[in-house]
Structure 1
Amino acid sequence: MTGEMFLQSLANGISLGSLYALIAIGYTMVYGILRLINFAHADLLMVAAYVAFYGMLVFTMPWWLSFLLAIVVTALLGVTIEKVAYRPLREAPRISVLISAIGVSFLLENLGIVAIGARPKSFPRPEEIVWNIKLGDISFLSLTIIIPLITIVLLVAVTYMVNKTKTGIAMRAVSRDFETASLMAVDVNKVVSTTFVVGSGLAAVGGIMWSLQYPQIDPLMGVFPGLKCFIAAVMGGIGSIPGAMLGGFVLGMGEVFLVALLPELSGYRDAFAFVILIFILLFKPTGILGENVVEKV
């Protein structure tokens, strides 16, 4: 591998890893509180992408206002899903909540197909935030710099919220024990709703950035990114916010360098993520930065 090829792959890997990390943080926040894998999280990417798309092209809104609207709508949808599909099953067996999450995911995907159509649409790229950068023989989009910066800023903000604010203290208390937290005057429902607002907002930002990086959207666009971001969260340690970011970067860099070093295996790029998941579950099921948690029956 030449030096130029290495730097080009490094830039691509950082960009892809940042996207995985951004979406994986939302997965791990919900799991950290509810011990629930929110499979609908991946489809919130799609919702955010379409809200931003129609905001810019149909309602001719400025790109920044469309993006803001997409984040707000997606956050509200996330809270609604929690109240309608998850909260009534909070005392039910875990398998019931898991089935509900899968059902919500299929519902969003099929509603998208029926209401919008399955044909892919081209996502507009605002010239103010997307342009080509050329450094010698290396060429990349401005998003290669913007996406990691946004991911780092959001990671710092979420980490500060969880560790330094009253809401974060309540989140950590609820993640340990619902009943004890409620006895200590913690509004469990409010904490869970706040978690879904933050997690869904992160999914919306991830969906917008994904659409800018890969400007083609369809109702099933969140399926594979969602699975890979779930793998990234498991790899880093599901429930650990820094672990989700680390797992996202490791997975993104691994995929890009696999294709760069072994181009004949490019068709197996998606399989690479699932192979990593199998090895993580076999040899370190808690993930890189995860900790052992005793599950309640």
Structure 2
Amino acid sequence: MNVLSQIINGLHIGSIYALVALGYSMVYGIIKLINFAHGEIIMVGAYAVYVMLVLVGTPLWIAVLVSLLFCACMGMLIERVAYRRLRNKNAPRISLLITAIGVSIFLQNLAQTIFSSSGKSFPNVMPQGSIRLGDAEISALTLITLATAAVLMIGLQLLVSKTKMGKAMRAVSEDAGAAKLMGINTNVTITWTFAIGSALASIAALLYSSAYPLVTPYMGSTLGLKAFIAAVLGGIGSVPGAMLGGFLLGIAETLAKGYISSVVADAIVFGILILVLLIRPAGLLGRNVKEKV
């Protein structure tokens, strides 16, 4: 397989990483929390689409809509039940982190209890076919994934920069206390941030399950970790950084699998995380922030 094909494949998986990384960046940017339960939202979204398509028999657009709404509600519920009381009591950040890990384990075991640990074959619902670009062949799924990711990323950037809700998110991110004094409902803003990030994860779940058609209770763990690395690489808390980090990480992983070894590809991905933290902890597009003491 030539270099162009490898890069196209890297952009395919990288765009999925980027969609998931956006959820990490949005939540971290506002409440400085690494929501490690975010990876399990992908799993929940995949199972929601599977249930609607296979068990209920709905058309694809209804399955996608149900998955999107279900994941958004799940994100809001997790924020309301697991995180809000700790935030309001100014609990140490380690408490929030431990809670996030606990929610992740709970969702994994809940899915295993409902669906069993055996994987479910995801139905082939995406258009087939491909086009040629020079010596490379681009599948319809890759085109759909890239186009969907681009539209959602542009839409999110416009939402954050142009809308009233986006301005509230930026205000809470800068100074939650001052934002509250200015009349912004910080709890509502944070809840909507979780909802939007979780909705993006549900779309990523559909795209990922279409490319790797096996849904399991643990599918979100590795994908979530790689998306977190993408967020750190681009600059966690930065929407453009999450996009850039996802694309770069996808390309690096694909090139490593194609030209080095698929066995060590994951090691290279996590090695990138170590290098970024050593050389530029704020990420490529992140900025160092000095905390007042």
TM over 0.5: yes
Q: Quote the residue 1:27 is aligned against.
A: 24
Q: Quote the residue 1:155 is aligned against.
A: 153
Q: Quote the residue 1:84 is aligned against.
A: 81
From 56, 61, 76, the equivalent of 1:59 is 56
Letter in 1 for 2:200: L
Check the 8 A contact 2:131/2:140 in 1, yes or no: no
Name the CA distance, whole Å, in 2 between partners of 1:251 and 1:294: 28
Check the 8 A contact 1:130/1:141 in 2, yes or no: no
C-alpha displacement of 1:67: 1.0
Q: Quote the residue 1:224 is aligned against.
A: 222
Gaps of 5+ in 2: none
Q: Quote the residue 1:13 is aligned against.
A: 10
Name the CA distance, whole Å, in 1 between partners of 2:93 and 2:10: 36
Check the 8 A contact 1:132/1:139 in 2, yes or no: no
Name the CA distance, whole Å, in 1 between partners of 2:216 and 2:138: 25
Q: Deviations over 1:210-262 (max 9, x none)?
A: 00111111000000010000000000000000000000000000111112222
Report whether the alignment pairs 1:131 with 2:106.
no
Name the CA distance, whole Å, in 1 between partners of 2:180 and 2:121: 47
Name the CA distance, whole Å, in 1 between partners of 2:271 and 2:62: 40
Q: What SS does the aligned partner of 1:151 have?
A: helix
C-alpha displacement of 1:13: 1.0
C-alpha displacement of 1:139: 3.6
Name the CA distance, whole Å, in 1 between partners of 2:262 and 2:281: 27
Check the 8 A contact 2:12/2:142 in 1, yes or no: yes
Q: Quote the residue 1:121 is aligned against.
A: 120
C-alpha displacement of 1:134: 4.6
Q: Quote the residue 1:184 is aligned against.
A: 182
Provide the aligned C-alpha RMSD in A: 1.3
Name the CA distance, whole Å, in 1 between partners of 2:228 and 2:46: 19
Q: Deviations over 1:46-82 (max 9, x none)?
A: 0000010010111110011101100100000000000
Q: Deviations over 1:121-164 (max 9, x none)?
A: 110011xx331315276444211111111111111111111111
Q: Deviations over 1:84-138 (max 9, x none)?
A: 0000000111111111101000000011111110001110011xx3313152764
Name the CA distance, whole Å, in 2 between partners of 1:94 and 1:7: 43
Name the CA distance, whole Å, in 2 between partners of 1:133 and 1:222: 28
Check the 8 A contact 2:17/2:247 in 1, yes or no: yes
C-alpha displacement of 1:295: 4.6
Letter in 1 for 2:13: L
Cα distance change on mapping 1:184 and 1:54 into 2, 3 Å:
same
Name the CA distance, whole Å, in 2 between partners of 1:295 and 1:42: 29
Q: Quote the residue 2:110 is aligned against.
A: 111
From 264, 267, 270, the equivalent of 1:268 is 264
Cα distance change on mapping 1:296 and 1:85 into 2, 3 Å:
farther
Name the CA distance, whole Å, in 1 between partners of 2:123 and 2:17: 21
From 195, 198, 201, the equivalent of 1:197 is 195
